[in-house]
Amino acid sequence: MRLILLGPPGAGKGTQAQRLIDQYAIPQLSTGDMLRAAVAAKTEVGVKAKEVMDAGHLVSDEIVNAIVAERIAQSDCANGFILDGYPRTLKQADAVEAMLRDRNLTLDHVIEMRVDDEVLITRVAGRYSCAKCGSVYHDTDRKPSVEGICDQCGSTEFKRRPDDNAETMRTRLWNYYKDTSPLVGYYHCKGLLRSIDGMQSVEEVTAAIEAIVSR
């Protein structure tokens, strides 16, 4: 299964991808996570990307397409993958198509997650994650079962992203509507687009995705 999760920042793409990898045993390819790993490792790509990401802008198509092309070629992607946060521009969408065509593969579904802007801002402002395993939580809506202890790995260390603040979030949303939302029409024309209500609970959104995927 080759799936794209499409939606604005805070729509729940990462949360849902984490649930789907367990269910379908395919990897999550998050360009945001890959770029943050490059920033943390201070690689050439990471050094270039840091300032752009902290400001809420998009990293260049050239850089992002190259890291995805390299990742898709790895053996754990042979049975499929979930693209989370990629593609994000029409040029990136063309690049995915070319990468798949070269391997005689096609996309199965593009799932658009729709969430109101005010809810997105609240979700992002309250988001934090486990510093060890990356499990995502929220200050009010999704706390660990035992306060201060990660449900998944038991770690007591958590972190917040530098781009999760109101000012940067406005830029990220602007960039979504300007550069990424045209992909809704792009995939609609290809007959791949399925839109779901991302305002529902995490469990209800997972069920909506599973209903599409299992069709």
| Helix (H/G/I), strand (E/B), else coil: 28 | strand
Strand order in the sheet with 127-130: 136-138, 127-130, 158-159
Q: Is 124 in the site for ligand AP5 (CB under 6 A)?
A: yes
What is the footprint of ligand AP5 within residues 69-108 (CB under 6 A)? Answer: 85-86, 88, 92
Query: 26 or 68, CB closer to ligand AP5?
Result: 68
Active site residue 48: no
Active site residue 101: no
Q: Which is nearest to 113 in space by CA: 20, 26, 189, 10?
A: 10
> Contact, 169 vs 124, CB < 8 A?
yes
Give the integer Cα–Cα distance in Å for 144 and 117. Answer: 25
> Contact, 205 vs 141, CB < 8 A?
no
Query: 52 or 99, CB closer to ligand AP5?
Result: 52
Q: Which of 13, 36, 71, 123 is catalytic?
A: 13
Contacting residues toward ligand AP5, per CB under 6 A: 7, 9-15, 30-32, 35, 52-53, 56-59, 64, 85-86, 88, 92, 123-124, 127, 136-138, 141-142, 163, 172, 201-202, 205
Residues designated catalytic: 13, 88, 127, 161, 172
